[in-house]
Amino acid sequence: MSWLLLIGAIITEVLATTSMKMSEGFTRLWPSIGMVVGYVVALGLLTLTLRTLEVSTAYAMWSGLGTALVAVIGVFAFGETMDWTKLVGLALIIAGVMLLNLAGAH
């Protein structure tokens, strides 16, 4: 159940960050509201996961995978560039999350 909550936290954090971009500096009402609600829900779900998951594992997955997903969304939804340095950075984030998960597995 904790893993499902963590996945929900990651998804809502990504939606909140995407809404932040779409809010255009709090000048658009609905994306601004979506951002605030998304972050509240994401932090609430992350907090619930910490009852059973190690903080190092949960936070690494939440922040790392969230960052990687937002980078991909930036390319496809907002026309941001993707070059080899960004690809290497994304690969390193994913590798780091995997290593932290392996280190936390017993």
pLDDT in tens, 12-51: 999 999 999 999 999 999 999 999 999 999 999 999 999 9
Specify whether the CB–CB gap between 43 and 49 falls below 8 A: no
Contact residues for 6 (Cβ-Cβ < 8 A; gap 6+): 45, 46, 49, 53, 58, 61, 62
At 97, is the pLDDT very low, low, confident or very high (cuts 50, 70, 90)? confident
Give the model's pLDDT for residue 106: 52
The pTM (predicted TM-score) of the whole model is: 0.90
